[in-house]
Amino acid sequence: MGSSVIDKAGRNAVVTAMMVCCGYIVCVSPVYIFDMLFISGVNLDPGSWYYNFVTLLMLANSVINPFIYAAKYREFQRGVRSLLSKMNLNQQRSQDAAVT
């Protein structure tokens, strides 16, 4: 049983790493392609909607990793729930203190 748990955890880690890598490639490669074409002399407008879109896509890469981890790891999900419940509890305490 112990070996199958380790194998499953290893597969899960590999799948998660592949998802993170694919997310990185999808989010970052368009802006690098745009920049390489621009540097090569292709007539591209750095103020165009496309450049703004790929720049936002690149910034989105820093946002997607927590969602990938949340989708793949129950411990991460429990940790987020715990953190949110603590934040909610602290907010209720501060509201109760302000009312009294």
| Span 69-90, average pLDDT | 82
pLDDT (0 to 100) of residue 99:
66
| Token pair recorded at residue 94 | 């501060």
Residue with tokens 């790929």: 54
**How far apart are the C-alpha atoms of 99 and 87, rounded to whole Å?**
18
Given pLDDT bands bounded at 50, 70 and 90, which one contains residue 2? low
29 pLDDT higher than 90:
yes
pLDDT (0 to 100) of residue 40:
93
From the centroid of its chain, how far is CA 77? 14
Q: Among 6, 14, 25, 32, which Cα is nearest to 64's?
A: 25
